[in-house]
C-alpha cells in the first residue's frame, strides 16, 4: 500500500500538478502557434516571394504514375515517395517561433520575480549573550 500512497503524494504535489497544467496549456499553445505560422506568416512570406508556398516544396524519389497530381498531397495519395523539405521548413519555422515566445515568457517571469531580501540576522537570545559574557570573563 505504500507505493499507492507514495504515488498519491507525488501526484498531488505542486510540481506534478504544475507540470500537468503546463503540458495541457503547451499543447493548446502549440496549436495556436501552428495556426499563426500556417495561416498568417506563411501566406505573407508567399506573397513577398510571389505566391511561393513552402508546404509544396518536395523532391520525388520514385516514379510518378500517369495522371498523378503533382502536388505533395497528390503524390502521397499515389504512394510516390517524396522528400518533403518544404513541410519540414514550415515545422522548423513553427518551432523557432514557439521557442522564441517561450523564451520571452520565461524572461519576463524571471524579471517579475523579486529576489527575496536577505534574512536579517536574528537577534542573539539573551541567555546566549549571558553565556558568552561568562565565558569571556573566565578567560581573563
Q: Tell me: the pLDDT tens digits for 65-83?
A: 888 888 888 888 888 898 9
Let me know if domain 2-114 sits in CATH 1.10.1200.120: yes
What is the residue-level pLDDT of the chain in tens, covering all 140 positions? 688 888 777 767 767 777 788 888 888 888 888 888 778 887 887 788 776 667 778 888 888 888 888 888 888 888 889 898 888 888 888 788 878 888 888 888 888 877 666 666 677 888 888 899 999 999 87
- Map out the domains of the chain as residue ranges: 2-114
The string of DSSP letters for 8-67 reads HHHHTSHHHHHHHHHHHHHHHHHHHHHHIIIIIIHHHHHHHTTS--GGG--EE-SPPPTT
Amino acid at each position: 500500500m505504500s507505493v499507492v500512497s507514495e504515488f498519491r503524494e507525488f501526484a498531488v504535489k505542486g510540481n506534478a500538478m504544475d507540470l500537468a497544467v503546463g503540458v495541457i496549456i503547451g499543447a493548446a499553445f502549440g496549436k495556436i502557434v501552428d495556426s499563426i505560422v500556417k495561416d498568417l506568416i506563411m501566406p505573407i512570406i508567399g506573397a513577398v516571394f510571389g505566391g511561393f508556398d513552402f508546404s509544396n516544396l518536395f523532391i520525388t524519389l520514385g516514379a510518378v504514375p500517369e495522371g498523378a497530381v503533382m502536388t505533395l498531397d497528390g503524390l502521397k495519395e499515389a504512394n510516390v515517395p517524396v522528400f518533403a523539405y518544404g513541410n519540414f521548413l514550415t515545422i522548423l519555422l513553427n518551432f523557432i517561433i514557439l521557442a522564441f515566445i517561450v523564451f520571452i515568457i520565461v524572461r519576463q517571469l524571471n524579471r517579475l520575480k523579486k529576489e527575496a531580501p536577505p534574512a536579517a540576522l536574528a537577534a542573539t537570545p539573551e541567555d546566549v549573550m549571558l553565556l558568552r559574557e561568562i565565558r569571556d570573563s573566565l578567560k581573563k
